Structure 1
């Protein structure tokens, strides 16, 4: 009698081991390192060192920061309103809604500036 298929090749008994060959072992170790890096970091990220692209000087005073934020929000509101003039329909309504949110944030920063207690003059 002739068999339609040949005999399957003989294999090891444990084919699911990640250490079957040197390459699979390296792959498994790399995967473990990647998982540990993202899921179990040894050291927490240093919160005191911000990125270097956009950095605010640590010695900047609160009043200066709030004034700068207020000016930035004012500029963003003007740009959104100017750009909304070129749009029609739902896109215009969306952009006007964004401009209103910017305006509300600007008002909140303005109020914080109003309530900010400035240090008095230094007397010797």
Structure 2
């Protein structure tokens, strides 16, 4: 009878800890893998602390903040559209997609602004 599966490949029976050189190589490889593949636990454990370089006056009312955000988003949308008109291919599609997300944000801010005006 014919054997359908091949014989398993022959493996090197030597342990990575057989000699001092192989131990050093193994430890160096582990450090390299840890450096590139393990998440930076110190960064992920640190709480997010926003930059204080640019501060908004805490006494600014919500309506003014929303109006400013709306104008900023509208400007970003126009800038993205202008740049998208200058390029072709996948970059253009990416820019137009970002412009659409910005427009959706602008719509949401406009709606929030409407609610603030109605309540106020």
Q: Tell me which interval the TM-score lies in, with the shorter structure as reference length.
A: 0.5 to 0.7
Give the match's secondary structure for 1:77: helix
Structure 2 spans left out of the alignment, 5+ residues = 1-41
What is the CA RMSD across the aligned residues, in angstroms?
2.5
Q: Residue 78 of structure 2 aligns to a residue in which SS? A: helix
User: TM (normalized to structure 2)?
Assistant: 0.57
Structure 1: gaps spanning 5 or more residues: 1-36, 119-124
For residues 58 and 108 of structure 1, the distance between their equivalents in structure 2, rounded to whole angstroms, comes to 22
**What secondary structure does 2:59 align onto?**
coil
Is 1:72 matched up with 2:62?
no
Task: Measure the CA separation in 2 of the matches of 1:68 and 1:39.
Answer: 32
Distance between the aligned counterparts of 1:84 and 1:98, measured in 2?
10
Matched, 1:98 2:102: no
Superposed counterparts of 1:28-67, under 5 Å: 51-67=51-67
Per-residue CA distance 1:69-122 (angstroms, 9 max, x = gap) = 00000000000000000110110000000000000000000000111121xxxx
User: In the comparison of the two structures, how many residue pairs are matched?
Assistant: 77
Q: TM-score, normalised by structure 1?
A: 0.55
Q: From the CA coordinates, give the structure whose radius of gyration is larger.
A: 1
- Counterpart in the other structure of 1:16: none
Runs of 4+ off more than 6 Å: 37-41
Question: How far off is 1:51 after superposition?
Answer: 3.4
**Secondary structure in structure 2 of the residue aligned to 1:105:** helix
What SS class does the counterpart of residue 56 from structure 2 fall into? coil
Other-structure match for 2:84: 84
- Matches of 1:53 and 1:90, distance apart in 2: 35
